[in-house]
């Protein structure tokens, strides 16, 4: 049985005081649902503090990206080693906003994912099509190619240490959600694609849905057989909404 994962992607939100306030609200709320693994991914500047606040709690910490380089003259980059000292367990990779605004490619995502797994952290590898690609009937091809390239060279063991997030770009921050059926269809094809490498690893692979997940649509998405959780943007910034999503299943 795959355990559900609800991960909050705070994006570029969360000053130090805001981080403190939101995490305390989350810890106080009735969000201790044992069927669900809860992850929050605040900005880099909040990770150290967040780790202190979340010590011995049910909430794990994630980062929103990592450098593909180990060390050196890469201004503004944050290395894996730095992340390891902040207590993160998860690293989001290849989010569509990184792909769109920072020209991240599947190849770069692949390099980072291998680095993250070697560092014993868990990558949350994001894939998803644009509205135009969906309308042109290219969803299957686009998502399969992203999976193939982002997981290139992955052994079964690597797949077992990964999480995938399907995030249709047209649903991110737009209030438009894929219907549970649309999302399920893509999740199933992602699992089938990964099964070409290893059936058992694919069966155990958590595949999260992301794109305008809210308290009112979370349950219907999360009961789909191949939807193993959610990557939540906007609604993860409000403790009440995030807790409601955690408790939606």
Please select the residue that binds ligand PGA; options are 22, 88, 93, 213, rule is CB under 6 A. Answer: 213
Active-site entry in 97, 104, 129, 167: 167
Query: Rounded distance, CA 125 to CA 98, Å?
Result: 12
Catalytic annotation present for 192: no
Q: Does 168 bind ligand PGA (CB under 6 A)?
A: no
Interface with ligand PGA, residue 212, by CB under 6 A: yes
Of 85, 89, 95, the C-alpha closest to 116 is 89
Question: Quick one: which of 41, 234, 239, 247 contacts ligand PGA (CB under 6 A)?
Answer: 234
Residue from 106, 129, 167, 198 that binds ligand PGA (CB under 6 A)? 167
When asked if residue 172 is in the footprint of ligand PGA (CB under 6 A), the reply is: yes
Interface with ligand PGA, residue 60, by CB under 6 A: no
CA end-to-end span of the chain: 14
Work out whether strand 122-127 and strand 90-93 pair parallel, antiparallel, or are unpaired. Answer: parallel
Among 9, 19, 31, 46, binds ligand PGA (CB under 6 A): 9
Question: Is-contact 87 53, C-beta < 8 A?
Answer: no
> What b/e string do you get for 84-115 counting C-beta neighbours within 10 Å, with b at 16 or more?
eebebebbbbbbbbbbeeeebebebbbbbbbb
| 226: contact with ligand PGA by CB under 6 A | no
Catalytic position from the list 77, 95, 129, 203: 95
Among 173, 200, 238, 240, binds ligand PGA (CB under 6 A): 173
Token output for 201? 């690893």
Q: CA-CA distance, 248 to 213, in Å (whole number)?
A: 11
The yes-or-no answer on residue 95 being catalytic is yes
Could you give the CA distance from residue 111 to residue 95 in angstroms, rounded to a whole number? 15
| CB count in 10 Å sphere of residue 228 | 22
E strand residue ranges, 155-210: 163-166, 207-210
- Minimum Å gap between C-beta 213 and ligand PGA is 5
CB of 233 to ligand PGA, least distance (A): 2
Judged by beta carbon, residue 202 or residue 235, the one nearer ligand PGA is: 235
Name the one range near ligand PGA by CB under 6 A: 49-57, 82-90, 111-119, 207-215: 207-215
Report the catalytic residues: 95, 167
């Amino acid at each position: 049985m795959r355990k559900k994962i609800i991960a909050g992607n705070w994006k570029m939100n969360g000053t130090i005081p805001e981080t403190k306030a939101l995490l305390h609200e989350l810890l106080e709320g009735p969000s201790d649902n044992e069927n669900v693994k809860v992850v929050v991914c605040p900005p880099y500047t909040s990770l150290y503090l967040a780790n202190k606040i979340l010590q011995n709690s049910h909430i794990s910490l994630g980062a929103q990206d990592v450098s593909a380089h180990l060390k050196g003259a890469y201004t503004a980059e944050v290395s894996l080693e730095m992340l390891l000292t902040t207590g993160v367990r998860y690293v989001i990779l290849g989010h569509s906003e990184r792909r769109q605004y920072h020209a991240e490619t599947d190849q770069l995502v692949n390099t980072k994912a291998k680095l993250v797994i070697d560092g014993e952290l868990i990558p949350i590898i994001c894939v998803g099509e644009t509205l135009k690609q969906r309308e042109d009937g290219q969803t299957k091809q686009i998502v399969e190619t992203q999976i193939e390239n982002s997981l290139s060279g992955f052994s079964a063991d690597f797949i077992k240490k990964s999480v995938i997030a399907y995030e249709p770009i047209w649903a991110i921050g737009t209030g438009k959600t894929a219907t549970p059926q649309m999302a399920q269809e893509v999740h199933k094809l992602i699992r089938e694609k990964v099964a070409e490498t290893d059936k058992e690893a694919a069966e155990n692979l958590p595949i999260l849905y992301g794109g305008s997940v809210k308290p009112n649509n979370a349950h219907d998405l999360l009961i789909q057989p191949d939807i193993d959780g959610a990557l939540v943007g906007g609604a993860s910034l409000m403790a009440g909404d995030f807790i409601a999503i955690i408790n939606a299943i």
